[in-house]
Every structure is written in C-alpha cells, then in structure tokens.
C-alpha cells in the first residue's frame, strides 16, 4: 500500500541508522513496491516506513530500470547548472510539476552489508536520487515550488480528489 499525500509521515525526516536485518527487510519491500509501480524511485515512507532507504533507477535510459537500494543516502555535492524537469510522486498520482535541480549529484549511501559507497549520477538518475533523498529528509517535492505555484497545484489536486 502506498502512503497518500497529505499523510504526515511524508514530512518526517528518517534518521540514519546502522544497516541491520530490519532495515534490509524494508529495503526489499521497497524494491518490490518500486518494481510493482514501475517507478523511477521510491523512498521507504511511500510504503509507510519512516526509514532512511530509497530505491532509485540508476540507468539514464528511462525505459530501462536498473534499481539500486540505498541505505542512509546522502547528497554529498551537486554540480552543473540547474535543469528544470518534470517530477511527481506515487503519493500524489496525477500531479506533475516542473522542478529545477542540479544536473549532477555525488551520492553516498550504505549498501545492504553496511559498506559506505559513493557515486556520481548525471541527468535523470541524479534528479531521481535528489528527489528521493529529499523525501527521506522529510521534504515532499511540492516544497520545492514557490508558494503561489504550490497553492495552485494543491487547489487543482483537491478539485480532482473531489474535496
């Protein structure tokens, strides 16, 4: 089950913690949910767990999903110009907005054995990683919009939802 906006868990920061069997179990569930939704990525909160885990598609070709499970992910640095691009969330289906993010990001994370890894992502994979790490940190993608634009999106969302 996917957590729907405006569930308050979507604004909670997941604190880093050691990778253990419990965290790996959540990571496995998250990977299954990401595949089932054919999503570019998901954060653990999308399946109801406020945990420091994301799954991202690391392949620049959106037609190919090359998923990585990142525990305790962190944006170490960003590089390149801000590039606008469409973003949405499984927690708010039907809403897509343009968000500007850096073209590249250096991401650090723990793998399933607890070993710290680091890798540079460019283009779409960098956008996906930044978006999902924002969610782990309690920042829902709409918070990247101006207040006026966010209010317009929420008004449209509420109208679609019939409330």
User: Which residue do the tokens 């509420």 mark?
Assistant: 158
Q: Which of 96, 106, 112, 132 is catalytic?
A: 132
Q: Which two tokens stand for residue 26?
A: 């959540």
Q: Is 143 a catalytic residue?
A: no
Q: How far is CA 140 from CA 7, 19, 21, 159, in A?
A: 11, 24, 27, 20
Sign of CA dihedral 101, 130, 16, 95: positive
Measure CA of the first residue to CA of the last residue in the chain; give whole Å: 22
Q: Return the C-alpha torsion angle 95, 68, 115, 101, nearest 10.
A: -40
Active site residues: 132
């Amino acid at each position: 089950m996917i957590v729907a906006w405006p569930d308050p868990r979507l604004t909670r920061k997941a604190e880093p913690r050691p990778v253990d069997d419990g965290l790996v179990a959540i990571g496995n569930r998250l990977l299954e949910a990401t595949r089932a939704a054919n999503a570019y990525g998901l954060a653990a909160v999308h399946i109801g767990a406020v945990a420091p885990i994301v799954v991202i598609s690391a392949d620049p070709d959106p037609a190919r999903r090359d998923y990585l499970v990142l525990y305790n992910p962190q944006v170490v640095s960003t590089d390149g110009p801000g590039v606008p691009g469409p973003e949405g969330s499984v927690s708010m289906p039907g809403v897509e907005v343009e968000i500007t993010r850096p073209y590249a990001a250096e991401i650090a994370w723990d793998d399933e054995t607890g070993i710290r890894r680091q890798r540079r992502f460019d283009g779409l994979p960098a956008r996906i990683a930044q978006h999902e790490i924002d969610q782990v940190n309690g920042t829902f993608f709409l918070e990247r919009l101006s207040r006026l634009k966010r209010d317009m999106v929420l008004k449209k969302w509420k109208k679609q939802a019939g409330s």
